[in-house]
Amino acid sequence: MNALTSALTHKRSFCRVDKLKLFSVNAGVPVELALEQASTLLGCIEALVLSRGAANDDATDSALQYLTQMTRAVVDACHQQDPVFLAQAHRMAKAAHEPKAKVEPVSG
């Protein structure tokens, strides 16, 4: 069992309304699963940013704000004090989001 599969999330609140905690990431979720969800949320953010272009859309801006807060809360809930763990978790999250290499056929 590696450090990622044995590490669990900590409770982390986000989206406060009048100083009240509206949402939170739950404690006890395996970090590997939580980081996969953070990667998915980052993909949603990226898609919205790329699709909005130059338009100033309040609904899109709000969605981006909430998705960003959610993603940050998930990553923060995974935070550990061990720098080796953090480096490994960041590499894993980045690798999950990087595009795979494409092989183009050679025309001859």
* pLDDT for 59 beyond 90: no
Task: Give 1's pLDDT tier (boundaries 50, 70, 90).
Answer: very low
More confident residue, 55 or 16: 16
pLDDT surpassing 80 at residue 74 = yes
CA distance 16 to 2: 35
- Who's near 49: CB < 8 A, 6+ residues apart? 64
For residue 96, the one-letter residue type is A
- CA neighbor of 39 nearest in space, from 10, 14, 69, 75: 75
